[in-house]
Amino acid sequence: MGCAAAALGKHDRAFEHLMKVKEEMERNPMMDDWYQRIPLQSGFLEVRLAKGELSQARDEADRFLELALATAERTYQGLAWEANARVAIKAEAWQRAEECISRALSAIEGYDVPLAAWRAHGTASDLHAHRGDNDRAGKHSELSRATILKLANSLASEDPLRAAFLTAPDVRRILEKAEAIGA
């Protein structure tokens, strides 16, 4: 619920939900808490970033990365590096952003991890566009777009989840960007 509220722009409500989950995990620990903390940490990061709380977002991104790198899970590793790249972009820490996106792409290379791939390629496209490298920006934009469409096409055309995914702001932005550059 916290991540859904964050995606809808209800950041205070999202933070409340995420805090309740965190508190419950601390009160009643379970064996898989180490794994469940990864998406929880991602949620905290997204809320902080959306609220423009850059210092706190950087801390949340570092913690997300630490948790993700403690596993062999390539999806979360790619997502954590990509999220760190977005935080660095917001901070205009361009060298850090390049390092993080490079690591995100390395983490997913050779693995079928579309949930991380569309985001990593989308952020790589943004970073290359900022640097004026339109060829690389276009390449990553197309890879992101293709991955988004592959995910969407894995769902039935009438599935409400498909429509929700394709109209999500981050997804729409990438699809519109790819269309604009002819990807």
* 38-69 confidence digits (pLDDT tens): 999 999 999 999 999 999 999 999 999 999 99
Boundary residue ending a domain (100, 121, 150): 100
Verify that 123 and 70 share a domain, yes or no: no
14 and 6 Cβ atoms separated by less than 8 Å: yes
What does pTM read for this prediction? Answer: 0.91
In a domain, 105, yes or no: no
Q: How many CB atoms lie within 10 A of CB 128?
A: 20
- SS3 of residue 70 by DSSP: coil
Token couple for 70 = 């403690």
pLDDT, residue 6, reads: 76
Which parts of the chain register pLDDT below 50? none
CA distance 109 to 57: 26
Residues 5 and 32 occupy one common structural domain: yes
Residues 39, 63, single domain; the answer is yes
* Rounded Cα distance, 33 and 166, in Å: 31
Work out the mean pLDDT of the chain and round it to a whole number: 92
Distance CA 9, CA 126 (A): 22
Q: Are residues 169 and 96 both part of a single domain?
A: no
Q: What confidence score (pLDDT) does residue 147 get?
A: 98
Same domain, 73 and 145: no
2 in the same domain as 27 = yes
Task: Give the residue numbers spanning the domain of 178.
Answer: 112-183
Domain count within the chain: 2
Query: For residue 17, what pLDDT is reported?
Result: 86
